[in-house]
Amino acid sequence: MPELPEVETIRTAIEPLIRGERLIEIELRDRTIIRGDAEAFRSSVMNTRVTDVTRRGKHLLLLLETGRGIALHLRMTGSLLLKEPERPNRVRAVLSFANGTRLFFSDMRRLGTITPVESIEDYICRLGPEPLGDEFTPDRLACCLAKHRIPVKAALLDQHIVAGIGNMYADEALFEAGMHPLTPANALRDEQIFHLCQAIRAVLERAITCQGASINTYALPNGERGTAHDTFRVAHKQGAPCPECGATIARLMIRKRGACYCPSCQHLRNDSTV
């Protein structure tokens, strides 16, 4: 958290405010937020115009007129807010623009990063395919999963395999596809791959429509909460009845991450485990 729907919601909210505007100040209240030399970074981006605000997976990207960029990764508890939050001690950086817009990077666990990017294309190439992009097809997903024997749930969380999917949306997509989270990624049949690809896209698009899920610290830039969590059927629902069959939603640990699923609707059809 925040995952793809939350970051896309943030991108949509701030793009009309900062696109075409000059970045006139970066206040670093916590210099460790910068990947690299903080002063060199500030001098290289100061008074440059933002030509586009884009995203890849969970990464928010500000493209600059110099051809360089700034990558903001909110990680677990980061938020970009248009007003200083009630707890200003959580603000690690403030980006100020010529039109008066200010973005407060608030981050309770201090895990988020701001990274200077020489080449946006090179930065994006390190990540897996964009689940909402035209290139994300069943064939592309099959290709991404074919080399991995790890559980499909773990594969979906690997940002080098698919970009943008986090724990809760992986649970929702696997439930919608009727797939057990321990199913080996390279053991999926063509039909399963097709349904999983469709489920991933549907789950993410629904969450964007709801402006993301405010499970923990996530908020829209204006401070309001998203409502995608109200539509969840298995994610964060351990012990609740399955909305399809009424069975009790279970939770298991997969590579140190929790996975919520319905034991009745999501059978483990392959006996192999990882």
102 is catalytic: no
Q: Which residues pair with 62 in a beta bridge?
A: 53, 70
Q: Which of 2, 116, 131, 184 is catalytic?
A: 2
151 is catalytic: no
d(CA 128, CA 161): 5
129 is catalytic: no
Do 99 and 17 touch, CB atoms closer than 8 A?
A: yes
Q: Which residues pair with 71 in a beta bridge?
A: 61, 115
How large is the C-alpha radius of gyration of the chain?
Answer: 20
What phi and psi values does residue 243 have, to the nearest 5 degrees?
Answer: -70, -15
DSSP 117-180: ES-HHHHHHTS---TTSTT--HHHHHHHHTT--SBHHHHHH-TTTSSS--HHHHHHHHHHTT--
Number of H helices, E strands in the chain: 7, 10
Do 61 and 139 touch, CB atoms closer than 8 A?
A: no
Three-class secondary structure of residue 81 per DSSP: strand
The phi-psi region of residue 254 (left if phi > 0; otherwise alpha if psi is between -120 and 50; otherwise beta) is beta
The separation between the first and the last C-alpha atoms of the chain, rounded to the nearest angstrom, is: 25
Q: Which of 55, 58, 92, 233 is catalytic?
A: 58
58 is catalytic: yes
Q: Which of 75, 140, 257, 263 is catalytic?
A: 257
The phi-psi region of residue 121 (left if phi > 0; otherwise alpha if psi is between -120 and 50; otherwise beta) is alpha
Q: Which of 3, 6, 172, 176 is catalytic?
A: 3
Catalytic machinery residues:
2-3, 58, 257
